[in-house]
Structure 1
Amino acid sequence: MDVRDSTTVQDDVEKTSSRVLEMLALKGKVTEAGAMIAPCSDYEDEEHVYRAHHPWSVYGVPFADMQKAFDHLRDELPKNGWRIVKDGVDGSVAKSPQIVAESSEGEFAVDVRLHRANKAENAPELIEVTVESACFKEK
């Protein structure tokens, strides 16, 4: 397991998120939250083992454009060094389309979901993205 500086890992995850947004090629509103550091659940018994994760969403564009961007991402990820490990639906009641991919070096994973509007929950149409780093030990 790599020993890394958490600030550097956060920066790398945010840069990776930016590349995923570029691959989506969707001009919508993007949530502003930055990458966060949290304990790595894969190593619950060890101290000082962390993972950076960066959840964000794209919204405010027609659903058809989101579908097109989601499909475009499916094509672009492998061209940009990612291996798709899941391409189907998530486990939600809505069965939202989901793509999970890992970077070729295994440094990052991305989970992308396409959500339809849900009026009962007052939830808008959006593409939800979470980029995570591999687990690392803090310097």
Structure 2
Amino acid sequence: MTDDESDGVPFVGTSTSLDAADTMEEVSGGIYDLIGVKGKASESLPGVTDCSGKDTQTHFRIFHPWSFTPASAGDLDEAMDRLKRELPKQGWEIVEYGPNTSKNRSITLTADNDKKKVSVKVIKMAKNDPPKLSLDLVSGCYKVPDGEEVERSEGRTAGHGRVAAHSSERGACPIIGPPAVTVLGVAARHCCTAAALGAVSRPA
């Protein structure tokens, strides 16, 4: 097994986990800008998880679950439609779009960005109160610089995320799933699926 690929997960490159988390926040911020309707983003921060089959002290992936709640529930469709329309213009390939297998048959979009080595899964949670988009991003596999180890906890505080900073209003939302990962600075939970790069998912 080489650093180029691990169980189908692409190798991103060499980086500290904190720098990789900053990069992921920038990716999330770019997606937020594409939504293009008034609303608020949650204040979730990126976290660190393992690369399958790799040394957990030297290799890692970054995940970033967050949500977007439009100011008007009627704008939810427009927000999802804009992502479907605009993501491909920014280097994303939509690999899945349509109703998922949940009870609500929620519309789900999964897209990969080969250049950024990031996958995103977006679920339109129309039955939620209030309705919102649930977004989950996950990176390929990173390797820390020689002589360093993966940093899994640092003095980052909730509310400093770039996505929330872009939002005119702020509101936190829970991150759901088993405690399998570490968020940089805050406790969180998440669960993974095998879709695309393995985009983090939550119940719809």
What is the TM-score normalised by the length of structure 2?
Answer: 0.60
More strand by share: 1
Show the counterpart of 2:131. 125
Distance in structure 1 (CA, Å) of the matches to 2:98 and 2:86: 17
Show the counterpart of 1:47. 55
In structure 1, runs of 5+ residues without a counterpart are none
CA shift for structure 1 position 61: 2.6
* 1:1-139 paired onto structure 2 within 5 Å: 1=3, 2-40=13-51, 43=52, 45-48=53-56, 49-105=59-115, 107-118=117-128, 123-139=129-145
In structure 2, runs of 5+ residues without a counterpart are 4-12, 146-204
Query: CA offsets per residue over residues 93-120 of structure 1, 9 Å max, x none?
Result: 11111111111315111111100234xx
CA shift for structure 1 position 79: 0.6
CA shift for structure 1 position 28: 0.8
Q: What is the identity, as a one-letter code, of the residue corresponding to 1:22?
A: D
Distance in structure 1 (CA, Å) of the matches to 2:94 and 2:70: 27
What fraction of aligned residue pairs are identical, expressed as a percent? 28
CA shift for structure 1 position 138: 2.7
Distance in structure 2 (CA, Å) of the matches to 1:69 and 1:60: 8
Contact 2:125 2:133 survives alignment (8 Å): yes
Give the aligned CA root-mean-square deviation in angstroms: 1.6
Distance in structure 2 (CA, Å) of the matches to 1:106 and 1:82: 9
Distance in structure 2 (CA, Å) of the matches to 1:127 and 1:65: 11
More helix by share: 1
Contact 2:37 2:70 survives alignment (8 Å): no
